[in-house]
Structure 1
Amino acid sequence: MYCCKAKLRLPLKSILEDYKCGKARLLSMLEDSEDPVVKPVQPTIKTGRKWKVFEAVDEAKECFKIKEVIGLTQTERKGLGSSTAKWWSKAEGKEKRDMVINEMRLTEDSRRIQKAVQKSQQG
Structure 2
Amino acid sequence: MYCRKAKLKLPMKSILEEYKCGKARLLTMLEESDVPVVKTVQSSLKTGRKWKVTETVGEAKECLKMKEVIGQTQTDRRGPGSTTTKWWSKTEGKEKRDMIIDEIRNKEDSTRVQKAVQQPQQGQ
TM-score (normalizing by structure 2): 0.97
* Superimposed CA distance per residue, residues 35-81 of structure 1 (whole angstroms, 9 cap, x where no aligned partner): 12211101000000111000000000000110000000010110111
* Cross-structure match for 1:100: 100
Alignment of 1:63-82 (within 5 A): 63-82=63-82
Higher helix share: 2
Shift of 1:84: 1.2
Segments of structure 1 that go 5 or more residues without pairing to the other structure are none
Aligned length: 123
TM-score (normalizing by structure 1): 0.98
Cα distance between partner residues in 2 of 1:42 and 1:34: 15
- Which has the higher mean CA deviation after the structures are superposed, 96-105 or 78-87? 78-87
Alignment of 1:34-49 (within 5 A): 34-49=34-49
CA RMSD of aligned residues (A): 0.9
Cα distance between partner residues in 1 of 2:92 and 2:23: 19
* Cross-structure match for 1:28: 28
Cα distance between partner residues in 1 of 2:80 and 2:9: 30
* Cross-structure match for 2:54: 54
**Local SS of the residue matching 1:37:** helix
* Cross-structure match for 1:15: 15
Shift of 1:120: 1.9
Cα distance between partner residues in 1 of 2:54 and 2:79: 38
* Superimposed CA distance per residue, residues 61-109 of structure 1 (whole angstroms, 9 cap, x where no aligned partner): 0001100000000101101111211000001000000000000000000
Match of 2:46, as an amino acid?
K
